[in-house]
Structure 1
């Protein structure tokens, strides 16, 4: 089986993608696969896909998770691990995804969408959201460009910073609580929510970029220390979010469990979650007895099985 692992790319998450891709490529080689590693910045990208049976997408952020590379692979008729064009684009657009979650009955944080060209009234934002509040780009991952704003002096700077990464940003209410995540795996038996992981930042107050990717930046607690009722709601909503966006094969759905014991709040759906050996998705797989190599290879198997089905 000839597998291309596509990683790197042009997004702000390039370095994370390189780590995910190298890990996936090595795992597949240990499983006996013929693996070609392709950095998405290659000028010979399409030519390098010649004689490839399946693509493992280890890209993150723009051009990787937003449906663009998925559309190209669809045109080339090459199967790939992960969601298709529409689900990828919707998940990447946080504002649109939240409207879909609302429709599906999944609790979201109150938000306001701001476009770069419109006038912004700081007083209106303060009156509607109070402090602290969250400012983030609409289409970025890994908390890039995100700020937790605690006072007026920080708000304008946070908005300017978010607009460096996108022409559309989100203002959201800040919800204090515990961050948890649910890995979703689709098999021939259906959609499965893997054990919930509680994320505890070690270096910083919030689960920011440093907490996610630096050594010892965070602790992953499995199973999460939440009550059974909350666990059931989080798993149910994670599957519902995956289905509502039309995701395929895998995703990882992030939530906040509020400190005030109200219903969980969905943060986002990651259609191509990080896949280094210490990432959240492989950690969840380990909790059900699947090694890093096993889960990576299984995702490829599921993709190939689907691609050979009639009318697929």
Structure 2
């Protein structure tokens, strides 16, 4: 039987959500087919956590652990870390150097998609529309009038490389602009300022399923808050409607762009892309390569709608990684 390390946690504000995702994976994989190990990768420690919550340190030299004198190595890694270092390429590169297969995309794709600015720049030539945007690096002079002339009000100020909507603000007046920039800089040293797209927000999972690129049913997101922020995402302040209430024509457009992005980028494993449809045209916001995997998360909802239960979804990811 293969030894599967399910990695969870991470170094970002999202680590708690990641622990939930990792535990859902742990509960849904078939223990008659795999030996499962929960590995917490946290800033202050990397540990294997057994069912009694006892902790055994991970040896970073070869990603192994020792339990009661016997050394355990892993055949494959199931990546459930949202944010750094699981979604930005750091761990992907580490496992590639150690020659251990893992379930998410490769390190370059992870780093590229984690950087919203670079992702959207790469996809633009393929006809994928985006919001009008302006970028700032920490220390850049901020010409408020010039920026607001380009993006208009209201606009969004976001960290360029962060997940789960931490550090995002919707700016409705010039007075709110600088505080929003300060807020975004708490999460990242690069920020992206985007024009407000007034339209229908949808989220679409694209996965490799049994060797084929599969677009999952689209979810429409109706936020009770001003936008799909952390509360809306994780504290139930939004309605997620799967399948989305959009025309067949729009559905085909969104699916086409989502699939094109996945294939152009040579993605593997799971992905979930966010679009806002304005005047019948999908505009891409971002792509997540380690989307939430809790039972309430969007990608698992979409898989269920497509008739794929969680055990099958997770086992497929491991099978493909081992190939």
User: TM class by shorter-chain length?
Assistant: over 0.9
Within a 5 Å distance, the mapping from 1:149-168 to structure 2 comes to: 149-168=171-190
The equivalent of 1:225 in structure 2 is 245
Match of 2:191 among 148, 161, 169: 169
The equivalent of 1:280 in structure 2 is 298
Q: 3-state SS of the aligned residue for 2:281?
A: coil
Aligned residues: 301
The equivalent of 1:211 in structure 2 is 232
Alpha-carbon distance between aligned partners in 2 of 1:167 and 1:278, rounded to the nearest angstrom: 31
Indicate yes or no: 2:64 matched with 1:48.
yes
Residues 64-117 of structure 1: per-residue CA shift (max 9 Å, x gap): 100000000001111000100100000001100010110211001111111111
Q: 3-state SS of the aligned residue for 1:224?
A: coil
Residues 254-298 of structure 1: per-residue CA shift (max 9 Å, x gap): 11112xx24110011111111001111111110111112221112
Alpha-carbon distance between aligned partners in 2 of 1:200 and 1:159, rounded to the nearest angstrom: 26
Q: 3-state SS of the aligned residue for 1:192?
A: strand
CA contact (8 A) 2:205 2:218 kept: yes
Cα drift, residue 252 of structure 1: 0.8
Alpha-carbon distance between aligned partners in 2 of 1:70 and 1:283, rounded to the nearest angstrom: 26
Q: 3-state SS of the aligned residue for 1:40?
A: strand
The equivalent of 1:310 in structure 2 is none
Alpha-carbon distance between aligned partners in 1 of 2:32 and 2:205, rounded to the nearest angstrom: 23
Cα drift, residue 173 of structure 1: 0.5
User: Compared with structure 1, are the counterparts of its residues 188 and 138 closer, same or farther at alpha carbon in structure 2 (3 Å cutoff)?
Assistant: same
The equivalent of 2:8 in structure 1 is 7
Alpha-carbon distance between aligned partners in 2 of 1:3 and 1:30, rounded to the nearest angstrom: 10
Residues 164-193 of structure 1: per-residue CA shift (max 9 Å, x gap): 111110011010111111111213452111
Deviating more after overlay: 88-97 vs 121-130 = 121-130
TM-score w.r.t. length of structure 1: 0.93
Match of 1:256 among 268, 272, 276: 276
Indicate yes or no: 2:105 matched with 1:83.
yes
Which structure dedicates a bigger proportion of its chain to strand?
2
Q: 3-state SS of the aligned residue for 1:59?
A: coil
The equivalent of 1:240 in structure 2 is 260
The equivalent of 2:49 in structure 1 is none
Within a 5 Å distance, the mapping from 1:135-154 to structure 2 comes to: 135-154=157-176
Alpha-carbon distance between aligned partners in 1 of 2:304 and 2:127, rounded to the nearest angstrom: 31
User: Compared with structure 1, are the counterparts of its residues 189 and 75 closer, same or farther at alpha carbon in structure 2 (3 Å cutoff)?
Assistant: closer
Alpha-carbon distance between aligned partners in 2 of 1:126 and 1:269, rounded to the nearest angstrom: 26
CA contact (8 A) 1:198 1:220 kept: yes
The equivalent of 1:299 in structure 2 is 317
Cα drift, residue 218 of structure 1: 2.2
CA contact (8 A) 2:134 2:151 kept: no
User: Compared with structure 1, are the counterparts of its residues 188 and 298 closer, same or farther at alpha carbon in structure 2 (3 Å cutoff)?
Assistant: closer
User: Compared with structure 1, are the counterparts of its residues 112 and 302 closer, same or farther at alpha carbon in structure 2 (3 Å cutoff)?
Assistant: same
Q: Unaligned 5+ residue runs, structure 1?
A: 306-312
CA contact (8 A) 2:113 2:286 kept: yes
Residues 152-175 of structure 1: per-residue CA shift (max 9 Å, x gap): 110010011111111110011010
Alpha-carbon distance between aligned partners in 1 of 2:288 and 2:164, rounded to the nearest angstrom: 10
Q: CA RMSD in A?
A: 1.4
Cα drift, residue 253 of structure 1: 1.0
Alpha-carbon distance between aligned partners in 1 of 2:288 and 2:181, rounded to the nearest angstrom: 24
Indicate yes or no: 2:136 matched with 1:114.
yes
